[in-house]
Amino acid sequence: MKIMIFAAGLGTRLKHLTKNSPKALVKLNGKPILEHLILNLKLQGFNNFVINVHHFADQIENFLKKNNNFNSNIYISDEREKLLETGGGLLKAKEFLLDSKEFILYNADIFSDINLKKLISAHKKNNALVTLAVQNRDTSRKLLFNENNELCQWKNFQTNEVKIAKKTNSKLIAWAFSGIHIVNNQIFNEITEKGKFSIIDLYLRLAEKHKISAYKTEHSYWFDIGKPENLSEAENYVLKHATK
């Protein structure tokens, strides 16, 4: 199974750290976060990756070449001309993903030990088009699911903005999206969007007629290291557990 790593973002939340370097190469305890991610994924048995690039794309390509692609099969989805967001990035990488019945999408700035084998198992059991890894976490924006764990809404709890995927009379449960999801390649038959677009907006549109499911993750740690404060917290976590 292939894993697509979204590494094309500008990394604006990291400010000075991404002024002359892509977010994926920002260092966590002396090692680029992309290296942490690839090595962690390899430990879980994955060895085929698609990585999209835009911001300082040459640096990412040179880094991978210097490390012999970490003895993995790595395909580059080139977004140098235009940054396409997550939805557009997925569509751009279509040629690399069609030969994988299911594939995992993983944000490059997520540092976690989420058990992907259990995510895959849940996805296949539910026969969903997409399964989103979710968790209990404080965040203003959450996805809302019905009693069958099917996506129904997106809500910004700070502004009360709501995007409705499908109407339901059941009580909704709000979950925070973890930045990791598994997708059936049939999704490419359903994408009508073009250019730059959000994958969450795509899921909300498709949820009316297709099963977009939630899977509550099992993990020891999860950090969105696209934020400076979270990067420091992740570094402290690694240092603390490296000594045990």
Residue 244 has pLDDT above 60, yes or no: no
Average pLDDT, the chain: 95
What is the amino acid identity at position 36? Answer: H
60-67: average pLDDT: 98
Q: What is this structure's pTM?
A: 0.96
pLDDT of residue 242: 67
Q: Which CA distances in Å does 76 have to 137, 157, 220?
A: 32, 36, 30
Cβ-proximal residues to 101 (8 Å cutoff; 6+ apart), any chain: 184, 185
| Contact assessment for residue 91 and residue 192, using Cβ atoms and an 8 Å cutoff | no
pLDDT of residue 130: 98
- For residue 83, give the 3-state DSSP assignment: coil
pLDDT of residue 243: 55
Residue 197 has pLDDT above 90, yes or no: yes
Domains of the chain and any CATH numbers: 2-242 (3.90.550.10)
Nearest CA to 73 among 81, 60, 64? 64
Q: Tokens representing 181?
A: 């999801």
Could you please report the per-residue DSSP string of 149-210?
-BEEEEEETTTTEEEESS--SSPPEEEEEEEEEEEEGGGGGT----SS--HHHHHHHHTTTS
Kindly indicate the confidence band of residue 227, based on its pLDDT and cuts at 50, 70 and 90: confident
Please give the radius of gyration of the chain, using alpha carbons only, rounded to the nearest integer.
Answer: 18
102-131: average pLDDT: 96
| Contact assessment for residue 162 and residue 153, using Cβ atoms and an 8 Å cutoff | yes
Kindly indicate the confidence band of residue 218, based on its pLDDT and cuts at 50, 70 and 90: confident
